[in-house]
Chain A
């Protein structure tokens, strides 16, 4: 272990309350007291890590300092994606900082040090809610939420995707809340307060899961902070200041049953901060020795008011190392590097220390895959976002992939060049200046600037704007949008609370290493040794055996309980659904094509008879209707305008922007409708007349088998739904029938439902929605009715693919399919958020739902929707790791590389070239390095085809 105290990291002697290393490891932030304000400073990590960088004057040490907090900053935390920094301070505020893209370096004007801010970080959001000092802030896994706690006894949960929205304020503590930690699985958040309690809250409903008070009842006095920490495997929560036998400890709380049997002992004063190493380790394999299975273990650093720091491995009974007198005052915060080998500690005395461990000391860190495997075993799902920096251990196997990944990164950083290294971080300030250099502007500024006199005769200068700021929420939103690729996490990842509780049953066999941890970790009060600085061999393993027996009992109990809960949930679902649907039903869906025909259907047929009958509109004296979606074409109908030699004539009048035509019909008009190309009119005498948009009759009157119930036009297509429940669709341009008098019997029989609405898509597909929430379309090639939407479909309710939808997709989702499903979709997604369904079930449902959507879009001939759902489907497959399906999808899109006559492969689908679609899908696949071979395989074949 190497120890370094970089003296240049300081706040001019003022206390440093918080330190946090950026996830990419290139910089770290400190927070604390400034001169007359709070201060946040971002430092370069390189000079801490390497002596030559420290000596090199061209490498900046300080990257940015922000003195915007009005009072002392108690906590600084980077978001997991590294884009944001959150700080909380005595001014009751939480500020969220973001790197500004378009602004060059600046100094803090007037500061004596003359150090330029190399990076520009500015406050994009101020979160006001707390009525007292903010003590700690914490980003949830995957940056879904930001939590802040305060001396006002509350914890605020902010929606990190929609600042400054507050998701929930957690109330319950009766003392100053001084520390927060998220469960890495995302199911819980824990808080520790001065009220002698540690509370664990569920993220599912934000209610209290457990309140732990016993280890804290003896706690006297106060500490400035109580920063607790959760182990990376999620199994242990370690508190700050706790007491055992009147000695200060850090209490270990097991996730399993929230048992408090173990603690870290040895510090002479209260523990202020505990921080788990983000890595899980396994024993270093010595060269030559036979590899034997070793148990993974965690590593934890504990800092105390007694100014000393201890680092523990959960595989050892004694601390790995204890460092006394590292500081003159209490330790305030600890942060690990992402690789798990470095550690920064800060103190109230205004200094920081860096500890550098070797793998020989800590062990071999598990790579993300192995860590995922552990999570998978314990919680039934993987927690990691399998991409980007987290996949550092995965080797990129070919240049195409590397190029793609680099492009991705560049897209993530619009100022990517700056981010790549501290040396080339001198963005120019010229961007807003129309090519004029700043120097030129300055030369002429006095002459050029606009000076006016105000009404009261005062001089007023209009300043010249030399740069624009990308401040504010919009910028943040944009960047998130831009980063949608990055945030493309799977359903499970963003919905961490839905973890399967199967860990209780699987635990012992799945993660022998983790379960064995208590065997060695436990230091009972009997075994306490004040002088814990020496590392000795563990002894006395016997007392823990009873502990593991206990666990087995609990295991079986919890298992049973879990099953019961599951059953309950299912039951609730069944009960709940019809009510919800009842609510959804009356909401009439948008009906753009012919608003008139069905709105005015005061159903004449009151008693449903055995013979299917559909309501027909009543005959009105006159009515007008808007044709097509252009909003300027109108049809006016006036029945019985004149009587000529005994026969009553009705008039149809068409007008568009001043142009108009009219025609006369011998019978009263029931329904008139039109598209941009044709106008169709149904009369009382069961005839149907079709005209061109100019008023020329296209075909002689069509005789219908029954009165018209609904009539629609779209393009050259005319759809007729008669009162006897038959459907016909004609292409009046080609003069062919697409659907010939097809009965609605298959979809209506056996139900007491009626047709609630119908429409015709632009491609001439007839869509009929029933009052029971089902929507069908008639496929003329299969000659079948196909169910395309069902409001009672549980798949719709439970599918969760929100994370596969990117912002730019929103446009593509408009179309007939969206029209039939409407708001139902979002309702389903909402419901899924609250359900506590097991993950694999949800995964399956989402998959089934997405495949259904794809097929429906296909049958509706809706190309844009097909493409939309195809991309979502592909993202979902990528996120959830369905390799076989992904391969099948790619294979279908690619088709045979070598032409053969026997191949029935179509090159297009709905007019979209399949290979073009594949080109769109491939980047999605490339986002997950796991599929890099698949990516490469199809990328190469596409390239090959392109060269042909």
Chain B
């Protein structure tokens, strides 16, 4: 049984200029006191084409986590435009929040992010070289995609022997470690990997 349940993630400062830091207010619940910290990461998937464009914006340790409902705001700097292919600067991409415990990822929350120019003229005639100063980032906060993984909460990853355990599947929401084909991002998310009703 998962010892940590994510209850809510509120996307703060949204929509906002592209250069603003990401802010997520995370509320979770610990079933019992956790002896080790949780590690949270924000990963910006710069391009659907290649994993090398995925950039980890930040990772923080959160702890101590007593039994109860802790809450924190996870703020991370905006992605480095230099790492984003120019062709992918504008349009829909994905930002991921992951959480690991003892080196094992047990939840992955994905949000669709739409980057577009606020200026109508720019929108109609986008410059060849993206003008990041004019881009607005809009996170589709109402529709998070949550994937949960069973992990061994008692020990570390090596000692996992639970046969019920499911590895973070490669078809989960665009993990940076896999190279999805060129397809519209929305279609990349198979419904059956989502832990939703």
Interface residues, chain A, with chain B CB atoms under 8 Å away: 12, 35-37, 67-71, 91, 93, 95, 103, 106-113, 115, 122-123, 126, 432, 441-442, 445-446, 449, 454, 458-469, 471-472
A114 to chain B, nearest CB (A): 9
B9 touches A109 (CB 8 A): yes
B96 to chain A, nearest CB (A): 13
B61 touches A458 (CB 8 A): yes
B68 touches A109 (CB 8 A): no
B62 touches A461 (CB 8 A): yes
B27 within 8 A of A: yes
B7 to chain A, nearest CB (A): 5
A643 to chain B, nearest CB (A): 69
Listed residue (A460, A461, A471) with the most chain B CB atoms within 10 angstroms of its CB: A461
Q: Which of A36, A109, A115, A449 contacts B72 (CB 8 A)?
A: A449
Q: Which of A71, A112, A461 contacts B164 (CB 8 A)?
A: A71
Q: Which of A36, A466, A472 contacts B166 (CB 8 A)?
A: A36
B146 touches A109 (CB 8 A): yes
Given contact pairs A68-B1, A109-B146, A466-B69, A458 touches B194 in the complex (Cβ within 8 A):
no
A591 to chain B, nearest CB (A): 43
Q: How far is the CA of A123 from the CA of B29 in the complex (A)?
A: 13
Which residues in A have their C-beta under 8 angstroms from that of B194? 35, 110
Which residues in A have their C-beta under 8 angstroms from that of B164? 70-71, 91
Q: Is the interface of B mostly helix, strand, loop or mixed?
A: strand
B69 touches A469 (CB 8 A): yes
Q: Which of A67, A95, A110, A469 contacts B68 (CB 8 A)?
A: A469
Q: Count residues of B near A (Cβ-Cβ below 8 Å).
A: 49
B61 touches A109 (CB 8 A): no
B138 within 8 A of A: no
Beyond the given A91-B164, A112-B196, A459-B58, could you list 6 further A-B residue pairs with CB under 8 A, ordered by the A residue number?
Answer: A36-B195, A70-B1, A103-B69, A442-B10, A466-B71, A467-B69
Which residues in A have their C-beta under 8 angstroms from that of B12? 446
Q: In chain B, what residue has the closest Cβ to A110?
A: B146
B196 touches A110 (CB 8 A): yes
A107 touches B59 (CB 8 A): no
A112 touches B197 (CB 8 A): yes
Q: How far is the CA of A465 from the CA of B63 in the complex (A)?
A: 11
Q: Which of A126, A464, A468 contacts B71 (CB 8 A)?
A: A464
A460 touches B8 (CB 8 A): no
B178 within 8 A of A: no
Q: In chain B, what residue has the closest Cβ to A106?
A: B7
Q: Which of A68, A109, A463 contacts B65 (CB 8 A)?
A: A463
Chain B residues 106 to 164 lying within 8 A of chain A, measured CB to CB, are: 109, 144-146, 148, 150, 162, 164
Residues 157-197 of chain B, each 1 if its beta carbon lies under 8 Å from chain A, else 0: 00000101010000000000000000000000000101111
B35 within 8 A of A: no
CB-based A-B contact count at 8 angstroms: 133
A464 touches B197 (CB 8 A): no
Which residues in B have their C-beta under 8 angstroms from that of A112? 196-197
Q: How far is the CA of A70 from the CA of B166 in the complex (A)?
A: 10
A430 to chain B, nearest CB (A): 12
Q: How far is the CA of A736 from the CA of B60 in the complex (A)?
A: 79
Residues 62-97 of chain B, each 1 if its beta carbon lies under 8 Å from chain A, else 0: 111111111111110000000000000000000000
A442 touches B196 (CB 8 A): no
A446 touches B68 (CB 8 A): no
A350 to chain B, nearest CB (A): 13
A404 to chain B, nearest CB (A): 35
Which residues in A have their C-beta under 8 angstroms from that of B9? 109
Residues 7-36 of chain B, each 1 if its beta carbon lies under 8 Å from chain A, else 0: 111101000000000010101011110000
A32 to chain B, nearest CB (A): 14
Given contact pairs A12-B197, A458-B59, A469-B29, A445 touches B72 in the complex (Cβ within 8 A):
yes
Q: How far is the CA of A126 from the CA of B154 in the complex (A)?
A: 14
A464 touches B61 (CB 8 A): no
Q: In chain B, what residue has the closest Cβ to A458?
A: B61
Q: How far is the CA of A355 from the CA of B61 in the complex (A)?
A: 53
Q: Which of B60, B65, B71, B195 contacts A445 (CB 8 A)?
A: B71
Q: How far is the CA of A632 from the CA of B30 in the complex (A)?
A: 47
Which residues in B have their C-beta under 8 angstroms from that of A108? 195-197
Q: In chain A, what residue has the closest Cβ to B146?
A: A110
Which residues in A have their C-beta under 8 angstroms from that of B27? 466
Which residues in B have their C-beta under 8 angstroms from that of A463? 62-63, 65, 70-72
25 sample A-B contacts, Cβ–Cβ < 8 Å, listed by A number: A35-B194, A70-B1, A70-B164, A95-B1, A103-B69, A109-B9, A109-B146, A110-B6, A110-B194, A111-B146, A111-B195, A111-B196, A432-B68, A445-B25, A445-B71, A445-B73, A446-B12, A449-B73, A461-B61, A465-B69, A467-B69, A468-B68, A468-B69, A469-B30, A472-B67
B195 touches A107 (CB 8 A): no
Q: How far is the CA of A103 from the CA of B144 in the complex (A)?
A: 23
A894 to chain B, nearest CB (A): 49
Which residues in B have their C-beta under 8 angstroms from that of A106? 7-8, 29
Which residues in A have their C-beta under 8 angstroms from that of B144? 109-110
Which residues in A have their C-beta under 8 angstroms from that of B71? 441-442, 445, 463-466
Chain B residues 31 to 53 lying within 8 A of chain A, measured CB to CB, are: 31-32, 37
Q: How far is the CA of A446 from the CA of B13 in the complex (A)?
A: 12
B12 to chain A, nearest CB (A): 8
Q: How far is the CA of A113 from the CA of B197 in the complex (A)?
A: 6
Q: Which of A37, A109, A460 contacts B37 (CB 8 A)?
A: A460
B72 touches A454 (CB 8 A): no
Q: How far is the CA of A364 from the CA of B145 in the complex (A)?
A: 53
Which residues in B have their C-beta under 8 angstroms from that of A471? 31-32, 67
B16 to chain A, nearest CB (A): 14
Which residues in A have their C-beta under 8 angstroms from that of B70? 463-466
Q: Which of B59, B67, B162 contacts A468 (CB 8 A)?
A: B67
Q: How far is the CA of A442 from the CA of B24 in the complex (A)?
A: 11
Q: In chain A, what residue has the closest Cβ to B169?
A: A36
Q: In chain B, what residue has the closest Cβ to A71?
A: B164
Given contact pairs A111-B197, A449-B72, A459 touches B1 in the complex (Cβ within 8 A):
no
B11 to chain A, nearest CB (A): 13
Q: How far is the CA of A122 from the CA of B73 in the complex (A)?
A: 25
Q: How far is the CA of A466 from the CA of B60 in the complex (A)?
A: 20
Q: In chain B, what residue has the closest Cβ to A112?
A: B196
Q: In chain B, what residue has the closest Cβ to A104?
A: B69
Q: How far is the CA of A420 from the CA of B132 in the complex (A)?
A: 56
Q: How far is the CA of A115 from the CA of B60 in the complex (A)?
A: 30
Q: Which of A91, A122, A460 contacts B60 (CB 8 A)?
A: A460
Which residues in B have their C-beta under 8 angstroms from that of A107? 7-8
Q: How far is the CA of A503 from the CA of B96 in the complex (A)?
A: 69
* Smallest CB-CB A-B distances: 5 pairs: A110-B146, A463-B70, A113-B197, A467-B69, A463-B72
Q: In chain A, what residue has the closest Cβ to B67?
A: A469
Which residues in A have their C-beta under 8 angstroms from that of B66? 465
Q: In chain B, what residue has the closest Cβ to A34?
A: B195
Which residues in A have their C-beta under 8 angstroms from that of B69? 103, 465-469
Which residues in A have their C-beta under 8 angstroms from that of B148? 36
Which residues in B have their C-beta under 8 angstroms from that of A70? 1, 150, 162, 164
B195 touches A35 (CB 8 A): yes
B61 to chain A, nearest CB (A): 4
Q: Which of A68, A91, A109 contacts B2 (CB 8 A)?
A: A68
A106 to chain B, nearest CB (A): 5
